[in-house]
């Protein structure tokens, strides 16, 4: 029987990743450059230092651009887009079902805690989560398993007892390396990625009601 659920944050609860990429692509276009998806993918779900889009833009354009100015400009455009953002389909229903079923839910995310808490508060869903494990809580973020192992420990459960809901290859690898059953729910951007060694892939969390999903998982696990 599944005893806990661990959500990724970016791209699973809110489609911040697609917005982030689209905004950065718009900025590249303004300077006559192109941001390759395969290079951006290095940042998705894991450590943002894996690829610096500002340095890459500066190198592509050969312009004397100011990195801090680019960051401020991008932040303003991003926040404008996020103002109209909504929870991804099926997220609220899944959280409500978990609460009714007395199944604890946590977050394991490579993002900073402050940002996660602010957005959860904005959408009035922070109380659904027992624990939030963020980049400040571990030495190694995804694709390393540390975030998931920390979340499982805080929930006083074993990896076999929980499921992970992810959207990126880095996140999926982190969950699987923690020996957790991983469900991929890709967003508009990560649908273009190739996923390997995952247990189940859904188009959205609306595809299966949580009780049906957990029944399926329990059957597959032999419970």
- Number of structural domains (the chain) is 2
Assess whether 69 and 114 both reside in one domain: no
Q: Could you count the other beta carbons within 10 Å of the beta carbon of residue 32?
A: 9
Assess whether 118 and 155 both reside in one domain: yes
Assess whether 203 and 111 both reside in one domain: yes
* Residue where one domain finishes, among candidates 82, 109, 137: 82
Q: Could you count the other beta carbons within 10 Å of the beta carbon of residue 142?
A: 28
- Enter the pTM of the model: 0.90
* Residue where one domain finishes, among candidates 41, 61, 82: 82
CA distance readout (Å), 206 to 12, 70, 97, 99, 142? 12, 37, 12, 17, 26
pLDDT at 43: 80
Assess whether 111 and 204 both reside in one domain: yes
Assess whether 10 and 21 both reside in one domain: no
Return averaged pLDDT per consecutive 10 residues of the chain, 223 residues in all: 96 92 95 91 72 92 90 94 93 98 98 96 97 97 97 98 96 97 94 89 97 96 77
| Eight-state DSSP code of residue 183 | E
**Exposed/middle/buried for residue 68 (C-beta within 10 Å: 0-12, 13-18, 19+):** exposed
pLDDT at 108: 99
Distance separating alpha carbons of residues 145 and 51, to the nearest angstrom: 20
Distance separating alpha carbons of residues 140 and 25, to the nearest angstrom: 28
Sheet holding 4-7, edge to edge: 131-133, 105-108, 4-7, 162-166, 181-184, 200-201
Catalytic site residues?
8, 10
Distance separating alpha carbons of residues 26 and 77, to the nearest angstrom: 10
pLDDT at 48: 61
pLDDT at 49: 67
What residue numbers bound the domain in which 28 lies? 16-82
Assess whether 63 and 113 both reside in one domain: no
């Amino acid at each position: 029987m599944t005893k806990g659920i661990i959500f990724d944050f970016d791209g699973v609860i809110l489609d911040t990743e697609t917005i982030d990429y689209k905004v950065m692509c718009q900025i590249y276009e303004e300077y006559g450059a192109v941001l390759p998806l395969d290079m951006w993918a290095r940042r998705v779900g894991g450590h943002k230092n894996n690829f610096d889009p500002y340095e890459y833009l500066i190198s592509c354009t050969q312009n004397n651009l100011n990195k801090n100015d680019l960051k401020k400009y991008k932040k303003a455009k991003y926040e404008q887009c996020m103002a109209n953002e909504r929870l991804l389909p099926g997220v609220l229903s899944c959280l409500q079902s978990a609460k009714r079923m007395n199944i604890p839910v946590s977050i394991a995310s490579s993002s900073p805690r402050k940002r996660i808490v602010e957005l959860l508060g904005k959408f009035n869903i922070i109380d659904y989560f027992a624990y939030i494990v963020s980049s400040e809580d571990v030495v190694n973020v995804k694709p390393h398993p540390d975030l998931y192992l920390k979340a499982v420990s805080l929930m006083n459960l074993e990896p076999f007892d929980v499921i992970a809901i992810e959207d990126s290859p880095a996140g999926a690898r982190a969950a699987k390396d923690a020996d957790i059953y991983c469900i991929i729910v890709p967003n508009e951007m990560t649908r273009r990625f190739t996923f390997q060694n995952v247990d189940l892939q859904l188009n959205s969390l609306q595809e299966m009601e949580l009780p049906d999903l957990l029944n399926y998982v329990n059957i597959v696990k032999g419970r």
